[in-house]
Chain A
Amino acid sequence: MLTTLFRIIKNGFLSFWRNGWLSMATLSIIILALLVFEGIIIFNILTKTALTALQDKIDISIYFKTNTPEDEILKTKKSLETLAEVKNIEYIPRDKALEIFKERHKNDSAISQSLEELQDNPLLASLNIKAHNPKEYVIISGHLDEASFKGWFEKVTYAQNAVVIERLGRIIDTAQKGGLILIIFIALIAVLVTFNTIRLAIYSNREEIGIMRLVGASNSFIRGPYVVEGIIYGTIAGIISIAIAGPVIYFASPYIKIFIPEINLWSYFASHLFTFLGYQLLFGIGLGIISSSIAISKYLRI
Chain B
Amino acid sequence: MIIFQNVSKFYNNNSHQTTALEDASFTINSKEFVSLVGKSGAGKSTIVKLLIAEEKPTNGRVIFGSYDVNKIKQHELPQLRRRIGVIFQDFRLLPNKTSFENVAFALEAAGRLQSDIEEFVPQALEMVGLKDKMFNFPKELSGGEKQRVAIARAMINHPDMIIADEPTGNLDPINAWEIIKLLIKINELGTTVLLATHNKEIINYLERRVINLENGRITRDEEKGKYILV
A binding-site residues for B, Cβ under 8 Å = 3-4, 7, 14-15, 18-19, 208, 211-219, 221, 302
Contacts and interface: CB of A to CB of B under 8 A. Distances in A.
Contact of A214 (B81, B96, B108, B110): B81
17 contacts: A3-B114, A4-B111, A211-B94, A212-B94, A212-B105, A214-B52, A214-B88, A214-B92, A215-B92, A215-B105, A216-B81, A216-B106, A216-B109, A216-B157, A217-B78, A219-B74, A219-B78
The 9 closest A-B pairs by CB, nearest first: A217-B109, A216-B82, A216-B81, A218-B78, A211-B92, A18-B96, A216-B78, A215-B106, A216-B109
State which size class the interface on B falls in.
20 to 34
Contacts of A7: 108
A218 B110 CA distance: 9
A14 B100 CA distance: 14
A218 B75 contact: yes
B88 to A, nearest CB: 8
Given A211-B92, A212-B105, A214-B52, 18 more contacts: A3-B111, A3-B113, A4-B111, A18-B96, A19-B96, A211-B94, A213-B77, A213-B78, A214-B81, A214-B92, A215-B86, A216-B79, A216-B110, A216-B157, A217-B108, A217-B109, A218-B75, A219-B74
B152 to A, nearest CB: 12
A221 B52 CA distance: 19
B119 interface: no
B96 A15 contact: yes
A208 B96 CA distance: 9
Interface in B33-60: 52, 54
B153 interface: yes
A218 B77 CA distance: 8
A213 B79 CA distance: 11
A146 B95 CA distance: 84
A217 B94 CA distance: 13
A3 B116 CA distance: 12
A217 B105 contact: yes
A208 B95 contact: yes
A214 B94 CA distance: 12
B75 A214 contact: no
B111 A212 contact: no
A214 B153 CA distance: 12
Interface string B93-137: 111100000000110111101100000000000000000000000
A298 to B, nearest CB: 14
B52 to A, nearest CB: 6
A212 B82 CA distance: 11
Interface string B63-83: 000000000001101110110
Nearest to A205: B96
B81 A215 contact: yes
Contacts of A4: 111
A226 to B, nearest CB: 13
A21 to B, nearest CB: 13
A65 B157 CA distance: 100
B54 A302 contact: yes
Contacts of A213: 77-78, 81
Contacts of B114: 3
A67 B9 CA distance: 104
A219 B78 CA distance: 8
A205 to B, nearest CB: 8
B182 to A, nearest CB: 19
Nearest to B112: A3
Contact of B109 (A208, A215, A302): A215
Contacts of A208: 94-96
B225 to A, nearest CB: 29
A221 B109 contact: yes
A102 to B, nearest CB: 79
Contacts of B86: 214-215
Contacts of B81: 213-216
Contacts of A19: 96
Contacts of B153: 215
A289 B80 CA distance: 29
Nearest to B137: A18
Listed residue (B54, B106, B109) with the most chain A CB atoms within 10 angstroms of its CB: B109
A48 to B, nearest CB: 47
Nearest to B88: A214
A2 B221 CA distance: 49
Contacts of B111: 3-4
Nearest to B111: A4
Contacts of B74: 219
Nearest to B104: A7
Contacts of B82: 216
Contacts of B78: 213, 216-219
Nearest to B105: A215
